[in-house]
Structure 1
Amino acid sequence: MADQTNRVTLVLIARLPTEGIEDFRAYEDAVLPLLSEFNGRLERRLRNPNGTVEVHIVSFASDADFQNYRNDPRRIARAWLLEKSSAKLELLPMMNVP
Protein backbone atom coordinates (compact mmCIF):
# COMPACT_ATOMS: atom_id res chain seq x y z
CA MET A 1 0.00 0.00 0.00
CA ALA A 2 1.56 3.31 -1.10
CA ASP A 3 0.12 5.18 1.89
CA GLN A 4 2.17 3.07 4.31
CA THR A 5 5.31 3.33 2.18
CA ASN A 6 5.35 7.15 2.33
CA ARG A 7 4.28 7.33 5.97
CA VAL A 8 6.72 9.21 8.23
CA THR A 9 7.23 7.90 11.77
CA LEU A 10 8.94 9.98 14.43
CA VAL A 11 9.88 9.40 18.04
CA LEU A 12 10.01 12.41 20.32
CA ILE A 13 11.82 12.10 23.63
CA ALA A 14 11.19 15.00 26.01
CA ARG A 15 13.20 15.37 29.20
CA LEU A 16 11.65 17.84 31.60
CA PRO A 17 12.69 19.53 34.80
CA THR A 18 10.06 19.00 37.48
CA GLU A 19 9.12 22.69 37.37
CA GLY A 20 8.48 22.48 33.61
CA ILE A 21 6.02 19.59 33.60
CA GLU A 22 2.88 21.74 33.85
CA ASP A 23 3.90 24.04 30.96
CA PHE A 24 4.93 21.07 28.80
CA ARG A 25 1.56 19.37 29.37
CA ALA A 26 -0.27 22.61 28.55
CA TYR A 27 1.69 22.83 25.29
CA GLU A 28 0.92 19.22 24.42
CA ASP A 29 -2.78 19.67 25.25
CA ALA A 30 -2.86 22.54 22.75
CA VAL A 31 -0.87 20.98 19.88
CA LEU A 32 -1.58 17.25 19.91
CA PRO A 33 -5.22 17.74 18.83
CA LEU A 34 -3.89 19.42 15.65
CA LEU A 35 -2.20 16.22 14.44
CA SER A 36 -5.27 14.81 12.70
CA GLU A 37 -5.68 17.98 10.62
CA PHE A 38 -2.30 17.21 9.05
CA ASN A 39 -2.81 13.46 8.49
CA GLY A 40 -0.89 12.83 11.69
CA ARG A 41 -1.53 10.30 14.40
CA LEU A 42 -0.23 9.92 17.93
CA GLU A 43 0.56 6.21 17.88
CA ARG A 44 1.72 6.00 21.47
CA ARG A 45 2.44 8.35 24.36
CA LEU A 46 4.51 7.15 27.29
CA ARG A 47 5.56 8.89 30.50
CA ASN A 48 7.82 7.84 33.35
CA PRO A 49 6.31 7.72 36.87
CA ASN A 50 7.47 11.18 37.98
CA GLY A 51 6.57 12.87 34.66
CA THR A 52 10.08 14.06 33.82
CA VAL A 53 10.43 11.97 30.65
CA GLU A 54 7.79 11.65 27.95
CA VAL A 55 8.03 9.68 24.72
CA HIS A 56 5.71 10.12 21.74
CA ILE A 57 5.53 7.91 18.69
CA VAL A 58 3.88 9.98 15.97
CA SER A 59 3.23 9.27 12.31
CA PHE A 60 2.22 11.40 9.33
CA ALA A 61 1.03 10.40 5.87
CA SER A 62 4.02 12.28 4.36
CA ASP A 63 6.91 14.53 5.23
CA ALA A 64 4.96 17.46 3.74
CA ASP A 65 2.16 16.81 6.26
CA PHE A 66 4.71 16.79 9.08
CA GLN A 67 6.23 20.07 7.89
CA ASN A 68 2.78 21.65 7.59
CA TYR A 69 2.02 20.59 11.17
CA ARG A 70 5.29 22.07 12.40
CA ASN A 71 4.56 25.35 10.61
CA ASP A 72 0.95 25.68 11.72
CA PRO A 73 0.43 29.14 13.29
CA ARG A 74 -1.61 27.69 16.18
CA ARG A 75 1.28 25.42 17.09
CA ILE A 76 3.81 28.23 16.74
CA ALA A 77 1.63 30.47 18.93
CA ARG A 78 1.99 27.97 21.80
CA ALA A 79 5.75 27.50 21.42
CA TRP A 80 6.33 29.82 24.38
CA LEU A 81 4.89 27.11 26.65
CA LEU A 82 7.40 24.60 25.33
CA GLU A 83 10.23 27.07 25.78
CA LYS A 84 9.04 27.94 29.31
CA SER A 85 8.99 24.23 30.21
CA SER A 86 12.77 24.02 29.53
CA ALA A 87 12.17 20.64 27.90
CA LYS A 88 15.16 19.02 26.24
CA LEU A 89 13.80 17.44 23.05
CA GLU A 90 15.17 14.73 20.82
CA LEU A 91 13.29 14.03 17.58
CA LEU A 92 14.20 10.85 15.76
CA PRO A 93 12.92 9.80 12.32
CA MET A 94 12.24 6.06 12.46
CA MET A 95 11.18 3.24 10.17
CA ASN A 96 9.54 -0.16 10.66
CA VAL A 97 11.86 -3.12 10.79
CA PRO A 98 10.58 -6.15 8.89
Structure 2
Amino acid sequence: MTDVTGVLTLVAIVEFAAGAEAAGQRYEDSVLALLGRHGGHLERRLHGTDGRAEVHMIRFDDRAGYESFLADADRAALRTALGEAAPTTRVIEVHEA
Protein backbone atom coordinates (compact mmCIF):
# COMPACT_ATOMS: atom_id res chain seq x y z
CA MET A 1 0.00 0.00 0.00
CA THR A 2 1.40 3.39 -0.90
CA ASP A 3 0.88 6.22 1.53
CA VAL A 4 -0.42 9.68 0.61
CA THR A 5 3.09 10.76 -0.43
CA GLY A 6 3.43 7.77 -2.76
CA VAL A 7 5.93 5.96 -0.52
CA LEU A 8 5.64 2.17 -0.53
CA THR A 9 6.64 0.34 2.67
CA LEU A 10 7.39 -3.37 2.67
CA VAL A 11 8.40 -6.02 5.16
CA ALA A 12 10.36 -8.93 3.70
CA ILE A 13 10.66 -12.19 5.60
CA VAL A 14 13.70 -14.00 4.23
CA GLU A 15 14.37 -17.65 4.98
CA PHE A 16 17.71 -19.22 4.12
CA ALA A 17 18.09 -22.70 2.68
CA ALA A 18 19.39 -25.22 5.23
CA GLY A 19 23.17 -25.36 5.07
CA ALA A 20 23.34 -22.23 2.89
CA GLU A 21 22.82 -19.56 5.55
CA ALA A 22 26.16 -17.80 4.94
CA ALA A 23 25.63 -17.79 1.16
CA GLY A 24 22.10 -16.48 1.67
CA GLN A 25 23.31 -13.63 3.87
CA ARG A 26 25.95 -12.67 1.28
CA TYR A 27 23.24 -12.72 -1.39
CA GLU A 28 21.03 -10.45 0.74
CA ASP A 29 23.97 -8.08 1.30
CA SER A 30 24.41 -7.80 -2.47
CA VAL A 31 20.72 -7.46 -3.29
CA LEU A 32 20.05 -4.87 -0.60
CA ALA A 33 22.93 -2.81 -1.99
CA LEU A 34 20.89 -2.45 -5.22
CA LEU A 35 17.96 -0.71 -3.51
CA GLY A 36 19.32 2.81 -3.95
CA ARG A 37 19.33 2.64 -7.72
CA HIS A 38 15.55 2.15 -7.57
CA GLY A 39 14.65 4.71 -4.91
CA GLY A 40 14.63 2.05 -2.20
CA HIS A 41 15.92 2.41 1.34
CA LEU A 42 16.58 -0.30 3.91
CA GLU A 43 14.99 0.96 7.14
CA ARG A 44 15.78 -2.07 9.32
CA ARG A 45 17.44 -5.45 8.97
CA LEU A 46 16.87 -7.94 11.74
CA HIS A 47 18.54 -11.35 12.02
CA GLY A 48 16.68 -14.34 13.43
CA THR A 49 18.24 -15.79 16.55
CA ASP A 50 18.60 -19.18 14.83
CA GLY A 51 20.58 -17.71 11.88
CA ARG A 52 18.08 -19.11 9.40
CA ALA A 53 16.04 -15.97 8.70
CA GLU A 54 16.07 -12.20 8.37
CA VAL A 55 13.36 -9.55 8.39
CA HIS A 56 13.79 -6.37 6.35
CA MET A 57 11.76 -3.19 6.47
CA ILE A 58 12.17 -1.42 3.12
CA ARG A 59 10.73 1.81 1.74
CA PHE A 60 10.52 2.77 -1.92
CA ASP A 61 9.84 6.29 -3.11
CA ASP A 62 7.05 4.82 -5.23
CA ARG A 63 5.67 1.54 -6.58
CA ALA A 64 7.53 2.00 -9.88
CA GLY A 65 10.83 1.86 -7.97
CA TYR A 66 9.84 -1.43 -6.36
CA GLU A 67 8.82 -2.86 -9.71
CA SER A 68 12.12 -1.80 -11.30
CA PHE A 69 13.99 -3.38 -8.35
CA LEU A 70 12.17 -6.67 -8.98
CA ALA A 71 13.14 -6.50 -12.68
CA ASP A 72 16.80 -5.51 -12.02
CA ALA A 73 19.05 -7.70 -14.20
CA ASP A 74 21.85 -7.68 -11.60
CA ARG A 75 19.41 -8.91 -8.95
CA ALA A 76 18.26 -11.72 -11.25
CA ALA A 77 21.86 -12.70 -12.04
CA LEU A 78 22.72 -12.90 -8.33
CA ARG A 79 19.73 -15.14 -7.71
CA THR A 80 20.53 -17.37 -10.67
CA ALA A 81 24.15 -17.73 -9.52
CA LEU A 82 22.98 -18.92 -6.09
CA GLY A 83 20.65 -21.53 -7.60
CA GLU A 84 18.84 -23.78 -5.15
CA ALA A 85 20.69 -22.15 -2.24
CA ALA A 86 18.79 -18.90 -2.88
CA PRO A 87 16.64 -17.79 0.04
CA THR A 88 12.86 -17.74 -0.11
CA THR A 89 11.18 -14.43 0.60
CA ARG A 90 7.68 -13.38 1.56
CA VAL A 91 6.94 -9.69 1.01
CA ILE A 92 4.14 -7.88 2.82
CA GLU A 93 3.03 -4.36 1.99
CA VAL A 94 2.45 -2.46 5.24
CA HIS A 95 1.32 0.95 6.50
CA GLU A 96 1.26 2.75 9.83
CA ALA A 97 -1.72 1.78 11.97
Same fold at TM > 0.5:
yes
C-alpha distance after superposition, 1:7-47 (max 9, x if no partner): 00010011224412122112112111111111100000001
Instruction: Give the aligned residue type for 2:73.
Output: P
Query: In structure 1, what is the equivalent of residue 29 of structure 2?
Result: 29
Whether 1:19 and 2:19 are equivalent positions in the alignment is yes
Given the superposition, is the C-alpha separation of residues 36 and 86 from structure 1 closer, same or farther in structure 2, using an over 3 Å criterion? closer
Give the Cα separation in 1 of the matches to 2:18 and 2:66. Answer: 29
Aligned length: 95
Unaligned residue ranges in structure 1 (runs of 5+) = none
Q: Tell me the distance in 2 between the aligned counterparts of 1:96 and 1:81.
A: 36
Structure-2 change in CA distance of 1:4 and 1:43 (3 Å) = farther
C-alpha contact (below 8 Å) 1:9/1:94 kept by paired residues? yes
Matches within 5 A, 1:1-20: 5-20=5-20
- Runs of 4+ aligned residues of structure 1 deviating over 3 Å after TM superposition are none
Kindly provide the CA deviation profile for residues 75-97 of structure 1, in whole angstroms up to 9, marking residues without a partner as x.
Answer: 11111255432533211011112
TM-score, L = length of structure 2: 0.85
Give the structure with the larger helix fraction.
1
State whether structure 2 residue 36 is matched by structure 1 residue 54: no
Gaps of 5+ in 2: none
**How well do the aligned residues superpose, as a CA RMSD in angstroms?**
1.9
More displaced 10-residue stretch of structure 1: 13-22 or 29-38: 13-22
